[in-house]
Structure 1
Amino acid sequence: MKRRQFLKAAAAATGSALSLPVFAESEPVILEVSGQVEATRTFTLSQLRALGVTSLETSTAWTDGAPEFEGVLGRNVLDTLGPLSSSHVTALALNDYRADIPLSDFYEYDVLFAWSMDGEMMTRRDKGPLWIVYPRDNVPQLREERYEHRWVWQLNRLILP
């Protein structure tokens, strides 16, 4: 078993908040993108922050009130991948949940890959390391049930078919 696979399996077995431990010289990878891109791309929290930090206050079907989320716009991440010919992306979570999301969602709406809620970093136990968050209070149609399955929490991977 490769070292990276072993570390991911060990982290999952111990309930670690992230898929890889933090090493002194590097940060853990919290998002992996594969498929249509030339090579699998990985992102650490610092790399995602460098793409621009956005805050969004919105209600969700899973929380009380309207928490404030902080993260990176999904379109900023997608734009780093170069031209894409796919019409959707498959979002995968640490808990094996998956959802197909139209790429147009990321360009029509300010959809976040959020890493914090109300100023607290989200852990694996609380929807982290990343949660796809839609601006449902700003766009009434995003409150429709058909969008709810696209709110992938424990997001750690995107696949472009």
Structure 2
Amino acid sequence: MRADDSVLSITGTDARVHELSLSQLEAMPQVSYTTRLPEVPGGETASTWQGVRLSDLVKLAGSTPQTLKLWALDDYSVIIPDSDLAAFEPIVALRRDGQLIPIESLGPLIVVYPLDDRQELRTQEYYNRTIWQLRSISLE
């Protein structure tokens, strides 16, 4: 995969589609969380996840959604309420411990919540929202 290949598609509430490459995502403001992701292989130990706030991606699409529907490469999907964006600031991580996340390690993009920092996030509901191999977001 080349750095300028599209890795994420965002469809705004106006139905406009925004395609983003890894290099475009890396050029955006980055946030890091050190946390464990129990549902991710190797996630029983803490890793440092770096990426873009999901709220910044929503702003990029110029939309104000009530919910976000996210799809993985294997067509798994989750719904994230927009209230999570301000309350928990999940990120779309593209790096784990400083390295880009390869597809075979559930990359290139994983939604990460600060699970170790917030006790209320340590539930199956939020583990399910930690979608890996993220490919698209639809703002509804």
**1:151 maps to which residue?**
130
**1:3 maps to which residue?**
none
Percent identical pairs in the alignment equals 28
Q: Secondary structure at the match of 2:89?
A: coil
- Structure 1, residues 101-146: CA drift from partner, whole Å, max 9, x if none? 1111122112110011112211111111100000011111010121
Q: Secondary structure at the match of 2:104?
A: helix
Q: Secondary structure at the match of 1:99?
A: strand
Deviation at 1:90, TM superposition (A): 0.6
Judge conservation of contact 2:92–2:111 (CA < 8 Å) in 1.
yes
Distance 1:135 1:37 in 2: 30
**2:54 maps to which residue?**
74
Q: Which amino acid aligns with 2:14?
A: V
**1:33 maps to which residue?**
10
Q: Secondary structure at the match of 1:76?
A: helix
Deviation at 1:37, TM superposition (A): 3.3
Q: Which has the larger radius of gyration?
A: 1
Distance 1:60 1:76 in 2: 22
Deviation at 1:93, TM superposition (A): 0.5
**Structural RMSD (CA):** 1.5
Deviation at 1:35, TM superposition (A): 4.6
Deviation at 1:64, TM superposition (A): 2.3
Judge conservation of contact 1:115–1:131 (CA < 8 Å) in 2.
yes
Greater relative CO, 1 or 2 (CA 8 Å, sep 6+): 2
TM-score, normalised on structure 1? 0.79
Q: Secondary structure at the match of 2:19?
A: strand
TM-score, normalised on structure 2? 0.90
Runs of 4+ in 1 over 4 A off after TM superposition: none
**1:122 maps to which residue?**
101
Judge conservation of contact 1:94–1:156 (CA < 8 Å) in 2.
yes
Answer 1 or 2: which has greater strand percent.
2
Q: How many residues align?
A: 137
Judge conservation of contact 1:111–1:135 (CA < 8 Å) in 2.
yes
**2:21 maps to which residue?**
44
Q: Secondary structure at the match of 2:114?
A: coil
Q: Which residue among 33, 36, 41 is the counterpart of 1:56? A: 33
Q: Is 1:111–2:101 an aligned residue pair?
A: no
Unaligned runs of 5+ in 2: none
